């Protein structure tokens, strides 16, 4: 939890006197329970038949029980057992449910299917009956109670965490972390768990009350600690026989259980109000390369990276009048289908036989209406297709290397380093829990710059790229929510450019910006691309915008690349009827509305 969340939580509790009183009550109960010998002079298990069933008095604050034992003493000693068991059980429940819920939600595929079915099976049993059965099998004692309560409680919480993960994993900053080469376990541990820390804390607080009640219930049934050791549920069981004769025996443990459950539930609601859960694909499951040793695989990847370096270093900048023989990117007959899990349903074509080449220093614009397949092609080039999308035909070559046999580690070698991606919405791309400086440094850390940069060198390079993208040094320590839309987009561009990539995929990077900011960002992007000599694919539905930065334009329609040519030829001599319609649909001054052509497309392939 960062300082901002702690400050917000502290402010909320201070402003709510009821929450403050209940928090103080919980702290007092915990102190009394853990330090029980310091707050009483009586023995919790010593029998004194001369003091049987005495009412509350100065010597015995809550009276005595049927064996002459001090009820107050047994209550605070019993609290030590009940609260310790409850906290350990909550830790087991949250740890297990978080591990399984996050894994199921993030990994998806067969992992999600198996884990979800396991949750369904466990949730189909009556909770209390299953808990009693497990506790009976484990035998008397708190250990059996903790395992029983944890075993019946984790599936429901795992489902909650899974639902949060399914929402948050679609955010742009999760995709950016994958492009940056961050390992899956690291994304789940830091990015995803960091984004759902609010719901986690709320569930922990609410679950404490639930677990206290569950353990007390099982102890009440005689499945917990054996007499004469004190425990709240066991004390309830002992006192029920004396409801009329000595009601304090039942009221004392019953009241403390009720008060603790009420206090934890109220604090859980307070936490929910204070810690606004962040808006909360199946990612690929990657198999290790078979038939080859790890050392040999690493050596081959290192050699491949060296070959890419040589290809990039030898590449000439793009020139309209110079024929460049070696393109940095070759897309050959690429087709992508949406594949259903049901065998009876036919695959739905999304991209069909796409061919294009991208040369060093060139900016290639991809235009087309919504649903034409532009972003899908960009994700295909990045190696980020997810279920149900699947490449069914064609090949892809990046920096002179075919990607047909690439595994996850091979893609990590180039994504974010040689091949960068700029997404549409910068607010989704950036991690709301990290400062801008930390996120830019991640790009350097996870791509293992050679030589490996020290902390001071990384900060210097981050400040340099911020300067190049026309951002002040103060942005380094700021959070995404403190920046304007244009500033956030500059940060995303800085993340894409910080490792000096050879290929940049810009997927509608100015969609969320106003017109004036859009023009500034376009000028900056073109300047950075030209100064670095990188090749860029600029995806947009706005022909006028693409014309400002592109050397060539490719027109996409219904999943096909129907035309590709230089900018002048596209605007003056389009060869396809659809391209002509796109040109005539551009709004112009002094052209009557009835003379404009409305582009009509068939989106059946994208439904």
pLDDT at 12 over 50: yes
Of 436 and 343, the one with more pLDDT: 436
Residue recorded with tokens 């007959």: 333
pLDDT in tens, 15-35: 788 888 999 999 999 999 989
Q: What is the pLDDT of residues 33-64, one digit of tens each?
A: 989 899 988 999 888 888 888 999 888 889 99
Specify the pLDDT at position 462.
92
For 395-422, give the DSSP string.
EEEETTEE-TT--HHHHHHHBTTTEEEE
Average pLDDT, the chain: 82
**Of the residues 274, 305, 320, the one at which a domain ends:** 274
**3-state class (DSSP) for residue 275:** coil
Domain boundary among the residues 214, 240, 274 is at 274
What pLDDT is stored for residue 136 in this prediction?
Answer: 87
Dmax of the chain from CA atoms? 110
Q: How confident is the model at residue 301 (pLDDT cuts 50, 70, 90)?
A: low
564 pLDDT band (50/70/90 cuts)?
A: very high
Q: What's the mean pLDDT in 142-152?
A: 89
Reported as a pLDDT band with limits 50, 70 and 90, residue 355 is: very high
Q: Give the CATH number of the domain where residue 9 resides.
A: 1.10.3720.10
Q: Would you state the pLDDT for residue 28?
A: 94
For residue 356, the cross-strand partners are: 331
Looking at the DSSP bridge assignments, the partners of residue 200 are none
Residue 288 lies in a domain: no
220 and 304 fall within a common domain: no
The sheet that has 389-398: what strands, in order across it?
348-358, 329-338, 389-398, 401-402
For 360-386, b/e burial (b = at least 16 CB within 10 A) is bbbbbbbbbbebbbbbbbbbbbbbbbb
Same domain for 345 and 212, yes or no, is no
332 and 257 housed in the same domain: no
**261 and 306 both lie in a single domain:** no
| 3-class SS shares of the chain: helix, strand, coil, % to 5 | 55, 10, 30
Are 252 and 160 part of one and the same domain? Answer: yes
Residues 253 and 341 in one domain: no
Give domain status of residue 286, yes or no: no
Q: Which pLDDT score is estimated for 474?
A: 93
Percent of the chain surpassing pLDDT 70: 85
Q: Is the backbone of residue 410 left (phi > 0), alpha (psi -120 to 50) or beta?
A: alpha
Contact 492, 439 (CB under 8 A): no
Domain extent, residue 18, equals 3-274
> What is the predicted pLDDT for the residue at 321?
43
Assess whether 236 and 366 both reside in one domain. Answer: no
> In b/e form, how buried is each residue of 130-166, taking b as 16+ CB within 10 angstroms?
bbbebbeebeeebebbbbbbbbbbbbbbbbbbbebbb
CA distance 21 to 13: 10
For residue 395, the tally of other CB atoms under 10 A from its CB is: 13
**What mean pLDDT is predicted for residues 240-254?**
88
This prediction has a pTM of: 0.53
| Residues 20, 60 within the same domain | yes
pLDDT at 320: 46
Q: Based on the fold, state whether residues 261 and 336 are members of the same structural domain.
A: no
Same domain (yes/no): 594, 540: yes
Domain contains 280 = no
User: Same structural domain for residues 350 and 452?
Assistant: yes
Q: Which of 587, 428, 586, 424 shows the shortest CA–CA distance to 510?
A: 424
Q: How many domains does the chain have?
A: 2
pLDDT at site 325: 60
Least confident span in 132-141, 165-174, 485-494: 165-174
pLDDT at 277: 40
Burial class (CB in 10 A: 0-12, 13-18, 19+), 578: buried
Residue 282: inside a domain, yes or no?
no
CATH code at position 373: 3.40.50.300
* Residues 524 and 412 both lie in one domain: yes
DSSP string, 296-327: HHHHHHHHHHHHHHHHHHHPPPP-TTS--S--
Residue 532: predicted pLDDT: 86
d(CA 533, CA 503): 9
Indicate whether 458 belongs to any domain: yes
């Amino acid at each position: 939890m960062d300082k901002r969340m702690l400050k917000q939580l502290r402010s909320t509790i201070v402003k709510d006197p009821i929450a403050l009183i209940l928090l103080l009550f919980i702290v007092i109960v915990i102190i009394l329970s853990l330090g029980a010998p310091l707050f009483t002079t009586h023995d919790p298990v010593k029998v004194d038949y001369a003091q049987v069933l005495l009412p509350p008095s100065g010597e015995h604050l809550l009276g005595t029980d049927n064996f002459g034992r001090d009820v107050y003493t047994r209550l605070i000693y019993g609290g030590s057992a009940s609260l310790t068991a409850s906290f350990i059980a909550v830790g087991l429940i949250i740890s297990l449910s978080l591990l399984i819920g996050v894994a199921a939600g993030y990994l998806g595929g067969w992992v999600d299917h198996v884990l979800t079915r396991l949750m369904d099976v466990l949730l189909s049993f009556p909770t209390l009956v299953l808990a009693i059965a497990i506790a009976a099998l484990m035998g008397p004692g708190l250990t059996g109670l903790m395992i029983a309560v944890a075993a019946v409680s984790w599936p429901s919480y795992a489902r909650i965490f899974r639902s949060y993960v399914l929402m948050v994993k679609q955010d742009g900053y999760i995709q950016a972390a994958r492009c940056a080469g961050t390992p899956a376990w690291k994304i789940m541990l830091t990015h995803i768990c960091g984004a759902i820390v609010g719901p986690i804390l709320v569930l922990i607080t609410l679950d404490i009350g639930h677990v206290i009640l569950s353990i007390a219930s099982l102890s009440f049934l005689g499945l917990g600690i054996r007499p004469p050791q004190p425990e709240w549920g066991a004390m309830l069981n002992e006192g029920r026989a004396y409801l009329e004769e000595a009601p304090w025996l039942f009221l004392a443990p019953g009241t403390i259980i009720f008060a603790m459950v009420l206090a934890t539930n109220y604090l859980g609601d307070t936490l929910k109000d204070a810690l606004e859960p962040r808006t909360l694909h199946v990612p690929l499951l990657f198999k290790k390369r078979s038939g080859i040793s790890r050392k040999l695989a690493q050596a081959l990847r290192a050699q491949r990276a060296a070959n890419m370096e040589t290809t990039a270093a030898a590449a000439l900048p793009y020139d309209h009048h110079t024929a460049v023989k070696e393109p940095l990117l070759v897309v050959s007959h690429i087709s992508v289908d949406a594949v259903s899990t049901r065998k009876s349903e036919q695959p739905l074509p999304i991209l069909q036989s796409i061919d294009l080449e991208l040369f060093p220093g060139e900016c290639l614009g991809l235009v087309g209406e919504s649903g034409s397949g532009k972003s899908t092609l960009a994700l295909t080039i990045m190696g980020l297709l997810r279920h149900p999308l699947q490449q069914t035909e064609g090949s892809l070559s990046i920096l002179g290397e075919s990607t047909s046999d690439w595994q996850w580690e091979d893609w990590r070698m180039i994504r974010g380093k040689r091949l960068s991606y700029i997404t549409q919405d910068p607010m989704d791309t950036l991690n709301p829990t990290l400062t801008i400086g930390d996120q830019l440094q991640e790009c350097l850390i996870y791509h293992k710059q050679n030589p490996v940069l020290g902390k001071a060198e990384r900060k210097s390079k981050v400040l340099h790229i911020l300067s190049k993208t026309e951002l002040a040094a103060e942005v380094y320590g700021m959070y995404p929510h403190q920046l304007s839309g244009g500033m956030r987009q500059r940060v995303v561009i800085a993340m894409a450019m910080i490792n000096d990539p050879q290929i940049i995929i810009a997927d509608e990077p100015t969609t969320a910006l106003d017109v004036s900011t859009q023009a500034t960002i376009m000028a900056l992007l073109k300047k950075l691309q030209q100064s670095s000599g990188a090749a860029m694919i600029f995806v947009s539905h706005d022909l006028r915008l693409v014309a400002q930065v592109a050397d060539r334009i490719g027109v996409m329609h219904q999943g096909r690349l129907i035309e590709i040519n230089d900018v002048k030829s596209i605007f003056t001599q389009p060869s396809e009827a659809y391209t002509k319609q796109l040109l005539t649909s551009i709004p112009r001054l002094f052209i009557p509305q009835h003379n404009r052509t409305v582009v009509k497309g068939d989106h059946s392939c994208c439904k």
